[in-house]
Amino acid sequence: MRKFYEQLLENNKEWVEKSLALDPNFFADLAKGQTPPLLWIGCSDSRVPANEIIGAKPGEVFVHRNIANMVVHSDMNMLSVLDYAVNVLKVKHVIVCGHYGCGGVKAAMGNMSVGIIDNWIRHIKDEYRLHDKYLNSIEDETERFNAFVEINAKEQVYNLAKTSIVQGAWKNGQDLMLHGWVYGLNSGFVTDLNVNIASNEELDEVYQLSNL
């Protein structure tokens, strides 16, 4: 166990040396600040590294991760990240990226208790209820699972658009576009779900906040 820990420290040293060999000012430049154009909301799954998937360098992606890439209206952690990204960093894009084979989505499709996470994935279960006719019509279990992963990512994009943070930015004329993706663990490619929102006019009227 200690050997693994010590290896992590050694890996860090090697990474610093390689980074400085390529650019002697690498860390000095990073320390000056960050102006990332993108906020990435992804799953906590260790197999889905945001920067590597899109070939981004340190400082180019602001990241928030949780189980099943959820945007929950009462999650102060997510809202704080979103507020900072939109109102301070002025990101121009927010990508919600799910992934096929997501354990959180899979758990939400069943009845087994998996611990305290039951309370979190209940939000995903609510989404299944909204789309149950379509999902239950898919006979193949893997295809149904993949379809629900996609639906979950799309729903989180709409949840983002419903926040006062995003709608306030739009009202102020800020360039901000929301996107939904799904990452393939077995291929490395992302699938664009073609849900790209740039104004609250694309939401049901009840969600359009008029007094911001």
Q: Based on the residue annotation, tell me whether 45 is a catalytic residue of this protein.
A: yes
Give the domain range for residue 183. Answer: 33-211
Reading the block at residue 125, the tokens are 């279960």
Whether residues 85 and 66 share a domain: the answer is yes
> How much is the pLDDT for 171?
93
Whether residues 80 and 167 share a domain: the answer is yes
Residue 83 is assigned to a ligand binding site: no
Whether residues 137 and 200 share a domain: the answer is yes
Identify the CATH number of the domain in which residue 126 sits. 3.40.1050.10
Residue 97 is assigned to a ligand binding site: no
Does residue 18 carry a pLDDT above 90? Answer: yes
Q: How many structural domains does the chain have?
A: 2
Whether residues 74 and 132 share a domain: the answer is yes
Does residue 41 carry a pLDDT above 80? Answer: yes
Reading the block at residue 134, the tokens are 């379509």
Whether residues 44 and 103 share a domain: the answer is yes
127-162 pLDDT per residue, tens: 999 999 999 999 999 999 999 999 999 999 999 999
Whether residues 6 and 57 share a domain: the answer is no
Reading the block at residue 105, the tokens are 């989505």
Does residue 212 carry a pLDDT above 80? Answer: no
Whether residues 110 and 160 share a domain: the answer is yes
State the Cα–Cα distance between residues 131 and 202, nearest whole angstrom. Answer: 19
Whether residues 102 and 127 share a domain: the answer is yes
Whether residues 12 and 42 share a domain: the answer is no
Catalytic entry in 64, 99, 123, 179: 99
Q: Position of tokens 């849900």? A: 195
Whether residues 113 and 44 share a domain: the answer is yes
Catalytic entry in 45, 64, 97, 179: 45
pTM score above 0.85: yes
Strand partners, 9: none
> How much is the pLDDT for 210?
77
